[in-house]
Amino acid sequence: MSMGRVVLADDDILLREGLASLLERSGYEVVGQAGDGTQLTDLVRKLLPDLVVIDIRMPPTHSVEGLDAARLIRQEFPETGILVLSAHVETHQAMELLAGGSRIGYLLKSRVTDVEEFVDTLGRILKGASIVDPGLVHELVSAHRVDDPLARLSAREREVLAQMAEGRSNAGIARRLFVSEGTVEKHVRSILAKLDLEETDEDHRRVLAVIAFLDAH
């Protein structure tokens, strides 16, 4: 029983093969590989995978073809999980992806080399989480700000905020920080109150709100 059926999209065959081999090793079934956005969407329509892993830069222009393909797949197959890999991560791209709903991930391409973490991420996406690259989150949380609103948060609250921004659920944060889920919930409420953010049941909305807040301040 495979953990999921995956379609890979990257114009670099070597990397694509490497990634496929990693996923196969990790229990995923790579059902198709594509070299550009058009091939990808064709394959997705044909194979109906559980998850697509997309390089953002692909032919013909090597700019944001992966994002376009992701948007299209999300429209046609909302239940398909999407992980977008990028040579560099940007908040506006993250927000654009997150705005499309849950089961979305956005990572630096180099994250694939940390196999354990990568596989974990794929699993969480398939379970419905929305994931933002921890490097980007770190950049957002640790930035110097004028009249920094994060100054109102305690150190623990900042840690929790970063986990929230990466797309972890309260349970995931509790596991990560070795505290109880109740404690996390308390922190989360406090954070949302301090930053004047609305509470929401949907994880991906929470991620989007936090990222948007951090980007705007």
Partner 1 sequence: MSNGAGAGKGLIRRTVVAGGVLALVVGIAFTVVLVAIGDLHHSAVLASESNRVLSAGNHLERLVIDLETGLRGFLITGEERFLAPWDDAQRAFPQQAQMFEGLAAAHDAGQGRRAQQIAQAGVAYINEYSVPAVETARRIAAAAPPPTTSRLLAPSPRLIAVADEGKRRVDELRRQFDAFAGVEDELAASRQGRSSNAAGRATGAATAGIAGSVLLVALFTDYLTRTIVRPVRRAASMAGRLAGGDFAVRLPETGAAEIGALERSFNSMGSSLQTSHIELRQLLEEQAALRRVATLVARAVSPAEVFEAVAREVARLLDAPATGLLRYETDRTATIVALGGELAQDLPIGSRVPLEGANAATSVMHTGRATRVESYEDAPGVVAAMARRLGLRYGVAAPIAVEGRLWGVIGASWNRPGPLPAGMEGRLTQFTDLVATAVANAANRAELSASRARVVAAADETRRRIERDLHDGTQQRLVSMALDLRSAEAAVPPALVGLKAQLSVVVEGLTGTMEDLQEISRGIHPAILSKGGLAAALRTLARHASVPVALDVPADLPLPESVEVAVYYLVSEALTNVARHAHASVMHVGLTVDDDVVQVCVRDDGVGGARPERGSGLIGLRDRIEALGGTIDVASPEGQGTTLRVKIPLGAR
Shortest distance, CB of residue 215 to partner 1, whole angstroms? 7
In whole angstroms, the minimum distance from the beta carbon of 85 to partner 1 comes to: 9
Asked if 87 touches partner 1 (CB under 8 A), the answer is: yes
53: part of which helix (H) or strand (E)? Answer: strand 51-55
Q: Which residue has the tokens 């013909």?
A: 60
Q: Which one among 64, 129, 164, 195 touches partner 1, defined by CB under 8 A?
A: 64
- The amino acid that residue 18 corresponds to is G
DSSP letters for 154-198: -HHHHHHHHHHHHT--HHHHHHHHTS-HHHHHHHHHHHHHHTT--
92 binds partner 1 (CB under 8 A): yes
- Contact between 179 and partner 1 per CB under 8 A: no
What whole-number distance in Å separates Cα of residue 104 and Cα of residue 132? 9
Residue 109 or 206 having the CB closest to partner 1? 109
Site for partner 1, rule CB under 8 A: 12, 14-15, 17-19, 21-22, 25, 57, 62-64, 87-88, 90-93, 108-110, 112-115, 139-140, 143-146, 148, 215
